[in-house]
Amino acid sequence: MALFSLFWDDQVFEQLALHTNLYAKQKRGSGGVTVPDSGSLESLGKRMRSWKDPTSHELKVWIRITIKIGLHKEVALALYWSQAGRNGWRKVSRRPVQRYRRLATQPKYRVPRNCMSLNRFQQLKRYFHVSDPRIELDMKHWYEKLNPLASVLQERFRSYYLPATKVAIDEMVVRFCGRSHHTLKIRNKPIKAGYKIFALCDHGYTYGFLWYSSTQGIAELDRSSTNLTPTSCGVLQLAKLLPANRQWHLILDNYFTNVALFKELRELGIGAAGTTGVDAGGFPKGLKIEKQEVRKVLPWGHVSGEVVGNVCCLVWQDNSSVLFMTSYDDITRTVKRLHRRPKKTSTNAITIRGIFGDQAQKKLPIPQFIDDYNYHMGGVDIADQLHSYYPTQQRSCRNWYPLFYWLLDTTLVNCYRIQRTIDPHSITRSPHYFFRSEVAEMLIKNGLQAQSTISVLESGKFNFSSTLYYLARLCSKTQVFQIFLVFQYLGTL
């Protein structure tokens, strides 16, 4: 909880509560209800729900339930408040918002209705707002509704973590199948449709990111380098987020690599390495011919290359030829790694299988730059993997809600990576699940305690019916009775 509070502190929740209240008043009108264009207050009758302005502590409870919903999926939102679910209401391990009756006093098995009703949860989801509704947004900047929260989180992501020397830049996709001019479809990705995000990650920790639109390109892109493509400018912009007092090495894949980008990075004192394609800008033609025509003749482990403007362009023969670029590594350095013998039907199997002999596995020397790529390029993929385990995303018609859920998941994943870095042996069994569950329980505990305190302060005296109701959720009967005696002794009853 302490790690989560570094990013989502009380100031963030207070701003969210303020903007939510303003948006609800704006939509519901001065009378507290929403009046359709072709309707009236009388036509709505008893169908309208009453509304009460939420506090920052109530939003903590709402976020907690959202995290819990991500831990255990159901087919409908209402089933989390019901005793009949797809997995059976008695299966506590599969349904954390359900509980055994004999475990009713344990906070980690409390159902959401003890914290917040289903109607209230849906109301907050309906009127939840990140930006200030009093300010007219520029519709050209499609991400403006999330920008107040995203800018704060991104600044804090960089403040509380120092990445390793080698970091990766790659693309992420946030699932969204609704209507939006800014989503795109990628057939070869696990997530076929959604928002694209360029991210700089260190083994799962998202250090910085840039929004991407299919119609407008990268948001807030710095085009000061006129000789670079927009995608290369985005990579350069992410690289500039790194602290200037250290030496950095970027690991990229063939979507980003080109000679012009590597030159720009080298001028900033940042090394880069990554695979590339035959059509990459600035790649020597001789190596392209070797890749296409002579790849089956080359022996395993063969390395050849050419230097283009302080950028080394290479071809390394593995099971197939690998085109590579690097601007910081010594190509003569090698390291031994365990390899599996390829199948008889694999590319260049006749040449490669002879190296293994009768062994199914064998340690073979590979270039150091290839080993760095294999080990560090998965930094963004690790973040995607941790996102996919327990996503908080729910169905919504608003096209900015998936990005909000992504920000919440990114915060939880970053907190988890910090916790594992500080104490890697703290949790051994399903650590990510228990970490999220612990954050959710601390949010509900802090939220309910604050709400009980506010009810006492607002009334000016001890309100037994409301305050004791909140305390009963968090304390034992003995503790509640002791608190009751203290207030009675102080003469507040």
Q: Are residues 12 and 114 in the same domain?
A: yes
pLDDT of residue 103: 31
Q: Are residues 357 and 430 in the same domain?
A: no
CA dihedral (116, 117, 118, 120) in degrees, to 10, reads -80
Q: Are residues 439 and 355 in the same domain?
A: no
pLDDT in tens, 10-47: 999 999 999 999 999 988 875 444 444 444 444 444 45
Quote the distance between the C-alpha of residue 17 and its chain's center: 22
Examine residue 65 and state whether it is found in any structural domain, yes or no: yes
Examine residue 289 and state whether it is found in any structural domain, yes or no: yes
Q: Are residues 13 and 119 in the same domain?
A: yes
| Other beta carbons less than 10 A from residue 444's beta carbon | 26
Examine residue 51 and state whether it is found in any structural domain, yes or no: yes
pLDDT of residue 273: 93
130: burial class by Cβ within 10 Å (0-12, 13-18, 19+)? Answer: buried
Q: Are residues 132 and 19 in the same domain?
A: yes
Examine residue 339 and state whether it is found in any structural domain, yes or no: yes
Q: Are residues 434 and 330 in the same domain?
A: no
Query: Among residues 352, 367, 382, which one ends one of the domains?
Result: 367
pLDDT of residue 73: 80
Examine residue 307 and state whether it is found in any structural domain, yes or no: yes
Examine residue 299 and state whether it is found in any structural domain, yes or no: yes
Q: Are residues 63 and 131 in the same domain?
A: yes
pLDDT of residue 39: 44
Query: Among residues 345, 367, 389, which one ends one of the domains?
Result: 367
Range of the domain at 69: 2-38+46-136+423-445
Q: Are residues 32 and 113 in the same domain?
A: yes
Into how many domains does the chain fold? 2
Q: What is the pTM of this model?
A: 0.81
CA dihedral (93, 95, 96, 97) in degrees, to 10, reads -160
pLDDT of residue 423: 78
Q: Are residues 19 and 124 in the same domain?
A: yes
Can you list the alpha helix ranges (DSSP code H) found in 128-176?
147-159
Examine residue 335 and state whether it is found in any structural domain, yes or no: yes
Q: Are residues 97 and 6 in the same domain?
A: yes
Task: Show the tokens assigned to 158.
Answer: 């960089």
Q: Are residues 115 and 18 in the same domain?
A: yes
Burial 237-264 (b: 16+ CB within 10 A, else e): bbbeebeeeeebbbbbbbebbbbbbbbb
The pLDDT tens digits along the chain (493 residues) read 688 889 999 999 999 999 999 999 988 875 444 444 444 444 444 456 788 899 998 998 899 889 988 888 888 888 888 765 544 333 333 334 443 333 333 444 345 656 788 889 999 999 999 999 988 877 677 888 999 999 999 999 999 999 999 999 999 999 998 888 899 998 888 888 999 999 999 999 999 999 999 999 998 888 887 789 999 999 999 999 999 888 899 999 989 999 999 999 999 999 999 999 888 888 887 776 655 455 556 788 888 888 888 899 988 888 778 889 999 877 888 899 988 888 887 767 777 778 888 888 889 899 999 999 999 998 999 999 999 999 999 988 888 999 999 999 999 999 999 988 887 776 555 588 888 888 887 776 765 555 544 444 444 544 555 555 555 555 565 666 666 666 565 554 4
Q: Distance between CA atoms of 65 and 62, rounded to whole angstroms?
A: 5
Q: Are residues 123 and 52 in the same domain?
A: yes
Examine residue 360 and state whether it is found in any structural domain, yes or no: yes
Query: Among residues 336, 367, 398, which one ends one of the domains?
Result: 367
- Contact between 305 and 314 under an 8 Å Cβ cutoff? The reply is yes
